[in-house]
Structure 1
């Protein structure tokens, strides 16, 4: 079943509901985010679908726009006070199922809910910390919602997150490493100067001077900027117990 249920009222926050659902579906997978017109397929019982999904969701996002509180039903009564109102029933189903309820205020200047303005069954919504989604800063709002959901819902992974940059220099050593290794990353352009590696095989330098690699028979000497002569030294007497 979906982890995240998008709760909204027809005629209020519909565009926000689509934008938030599509963004979260792209990040976490379509199967993990429920929005009625997307998730209930033709021929399926919508009452069963809404009841099951809202009762089993881990998080229910209550999208609240300027018309949410005062919307009217067919008889002219306030919709939220109607026990058959689906926006109301989905919220209550999620509460009974133990879901985390997060109000999403769809508008920068939209005020927080006040308990006295709500039906008694929904009064606790006024005490819940809310998030804001505003079309003027939609990307920031979507990022904030996704970040909070990742922290709140175990197993959610943002598939659109950029992979961390890889190190610019990689070292592979088949055996134990002796001495210090300095690993460089995120390097582009420029140059490396005056770097020395003082490992067990003698000093290696990247400075502009002579390059010396000295270790037993076959020591290598490179003069100047690696354009001079190369000399190999053979015939040195090995110390006892030394192996190649």
Structure 2
């Protein structure tokens, strides 16, 4: 292996995953140095592209196959069969070459919600790819997922650097160092990743939801019924006020999740979807509480009203949590529903025990509980799935 040979090769389809591949290149090049990451095969006129690809892939230690939802089904203009079925396809040649070498680690990298193509969808020379453990890079958890991938690459690149004495970009030292000294070692030092990025993601979600909830409650303050209004009017007012409040929270979460997933083109649709589901969440909770507390002819005891409020907030949390689960990658609606309901129960129990703060503060507190539980549940399952994906696959 030549001293200047890159250690990590990125294989991708320009028409499908160029954006994700470029973002991944920036992340791993920041950690390991530009000289150790190879993204595009440059072909001068008259160069045999099969020889050039074979040479470039053979010099690396790891080949990252960036796979989008259409990776195995993209077709060339005017041709019925997928490009991956064509012997001269660049991506096919890159992956074939790497799979044929025992000294190159092939790592499928799933982006944009893609799943591993089944062996039957691949040509025989690529079917070994389906047996390789894949790593998913979610736009929502990008820094965390890239951090896990970088840890794996660090071992490979460090081993390669140990074999190449005198290489300018000696990554072995960078990968082995830890602590403050490593943080000051220059641009090749690893950025903060892992659990810290997940905590920041959770705190970001909670802060946005709480701020949106308190602002929304202030905006909904003018919605109230006169003292002489009928019970039906009081219930309708309660339902409308809660619907408006939680609709704004849902809309903010919809926009946040779209931005976090890198799907800005769908922001308007997600905003409207979050608004509708948030309104449904607030209206459901308001209807449950209003029907059980306001409708009865006899006044409802405070203890009974407190218990009813727990059920009403559980219903609101369930719908909002389901909305979060529906927008997550991978989609987990049931998990979001259960976690959101649990968050609603816990936060309302605490509110009943600690007293009755202002409605504005109370809504912010409810947002913290519901969104905190729903997002934490999704992140927990993400981490567990990542741990499972690192286990060896049985052939």
Structure 2 segments unaligned to the other structure (5+ residues): 162-170, 182-395
Are positions 1:72 and 2:79 aligned together?
no
Are positions 1:32 and 2:36 aligned together?
yes
Distance in 2, Cα, partners of 1:119 & 1:32: 30
Are positions 1:132 and 2:147 aligned together?
no
Distance in 2, Cα, partners of 1:136 & 1:147: 19
Are positions 1:106 and 2:111 aligned together?
yes
Pick one of 134, 137, 144 that aligns with 2:148: 144
Residues 118-162 of structure 1, C-alpha deviation per residue, up to 9 Å, x if partnerless? Answer: 111111111110111121211112111100111234134485999
Over 3 Å counting, the alpha-carbon distance change for 1:94 and 1:30 in structure 2 is same
Are positions 1:85 and 2:85 aligned together?
no
What are the equivalent positions in structure 2 for 1:159-238 lying under 5 Å apart?
159=174, 164-165=179-180
How many residue pairs align between the two structures? 163
Over 3 Å counting, the alpha-carbon distance change for 1:158 and 1:76 in structure 2 is farther
- Asked whether the 8 Å contact 1:28–1:158 carries over to 2, the reply is no
What secondary structure is seen at the aligned counterpart in 2 of 1:93? helix
Over 3 Å counting, the alpha-carbon distance change for 1:157 and 1:25 in structure 2 is farther
Distance in 2, Cα, partners of 1:152 & 1:100: 8
Structure with a larger share of its residues in helix? 2
Structure 1 segments unaligned to the other structure (5+ residues): 167-244
Counterpart in the other structure of 1:239: none
Are positions 1:21 and 2:25 aligned together?
yes
Over 3 Å counting, the alpha-carbon distance change for 1:162 and 1:139 in structure 2 is farther
Pick one of 59, 64, 79 that aligns with 2:62: 59
Distance in 1, Cα, partners of 2:27 & 2:118: 29
Normalising by structure 2, we get a TM-score of 0.38
Moved over 6 A (4+): 41-44
Structure with a larger share of its residues in strand? 1
Distance in 2, Cα, partners of 1:22 & 1:49: 24
Q: CA RMSD in A?
A: 2.6
Pick one of 112, 119, 137 that aligns with 1:115: 119
Counterpart in the other structure of 1:187: none
Residues 76-128 of structure 1, C-alpha deviation per residue, up to 9 Å, x if partnerless? Answer: 32101100000000111112233111000113x43233112211111111111
Q: CA deviation at 1:9?
A: 0.9
